[in-house]
Amino acid sequence: MSPDDIRAVENPISAMFDLADQVSNEAPQVRKLVRYASFFVGFWLVLNFIFLLATIGNLLIFVFLFVMFILGILALLSLRNLNDFFKYYTMRHSFIRSVRDADPVVIVPKGNTAVERLKAYLVAKNPAMLSALSKSPSPAMMKGNAGIFYQFDAYVASKPSVTWRLFGAGYPGYQLFVKWFEHAPRIEDINALKRAVEDVAQAEGKPASRVIMLWSRKEDEDITEEAYNQLLSTTLVSHHRGRQFACSMELIVENADGTYEFIPFISEAHAFTVQRGR
């Protein structure tokens, strides 16, 4: 903890980032303590249950132990929620920090087509995708769960772990969908791509990891406000073993001046791995 006066604030924005960094640095230790506390409470619940069976004939002690058992369950649920919150916080903080530390201007790499240039950019951000992107057909035809075939300008996937397939825990796999647009994306384009990706994700048995709408923008073109709001509010949802996975849709604009624009900016860290790539 900082020994400085907590009331002193020079720049509110930088102070908020500094405070978030401090919480993120302490989060691993807090999560470790939460796991220890969860183990202790779980052990106590097992003993409490044994004592409950042994004191069925004594009403007063039985009621007391039953109340303690209920409180123990509530405490265990609260600890689980606390652990989930800190897990979410650290992940969210790392993504926000990666956006803050990223270059403000992203130059479009060289390539014959917009899709090839985007692939070069993705490989530069994550070299592990080089082999998979080079082997993946472009365009790619993918069959959805409803039996309909959908065309994507690029598709990359990696296999989920066995534990995820069986129990819903572990590495959920990876799926990248890219759809190129020569014109400004419209609301119907966004909705159609959402339906296609969700259908393919259901057929593949793993959630979508990143969905990119690639738009080669001309100088006199712009996306409508309605389509912009629809893009930001669109979330692709997948379910597996009682868990829900959400993926936002991302618009990458290739401007005429040779720069990329991201709406919104999606940071995926190392979600794609060489070992599981295909």
| Structural domain count, the chain | 2
User: Same domain for 37 and 69?
Assistant: yes
User: Same domain for 136 and 28?
Assistant: no
Q: What CATH number does residue 138 fall under?
A: 3.40.1350
Long-range own/partner contacts, residues 70-78 (CB < 8 A, 24 or more apart): 72/41, 72/44, 72/45, 72/48, 73/45, 75/41, 76/38, 76/41, 76/42, 76/45
Structure tokens at 233: 């509010």
Return the closest-CA partner of residue 254 out of 226, 224, 212, 225. 212
* Residue 124: how many other CB atoms lie within 10 Å: 12
User: Same domain for 238 and 146?
Assistant: yes
User: Same domain for 18 and 31?
Assistant: yes
Write the pLDDT tens digit of every residue in 207-255. 888 999 999 998 888 999 999 999 999 988 888 777 788 888 999 999 9
Is 20 part of a structural domain of the chain?
yes
User: Same domain for 28 and 84?
Assistant: yes
Write the pLDDT tens digit of every residue in 83-142. 999 988 988 888 888 777 777 788 999 989 999 999 999 888 888 888 777 777 778 899
Is 275 part of a structural domain of the chain?
no
Write the pLDDT tens digit of every residue in 164-192. 788 777 788 888 999 999 999 999 999 99
Is 183 part of a structural domain of the chain?
yes
* Residues of the chain by 3-state class (helix, strand, coil), percent to 5: 50, 20, 30
Is 114 part of a structural domain of the chain?
yes
* Residue 216: how many other CB atoms lie within 10 Å: 17
User: Which residue is associated with the tokens 């379910």?
Assistant: 239
Q: Using CA atoms of 107, 212, 161, 78 in order, give the dihedral in degrees to the nearest 10.
A: 100
User: Same domain for 58 and 72?
Assistant: yes
pTM of the model: 0.74
Domain of 33, in residue numbers: 12-101
User: Same domain for 144 and 20?
Assistant: no
- Pairing type for strands 235-240 and 210-216 reads unpaired
Burial class (CB in 10 A: 0-12, 13-18, 19+), 108: middle
User: Same domain for 86 and 118?
Assistant: no
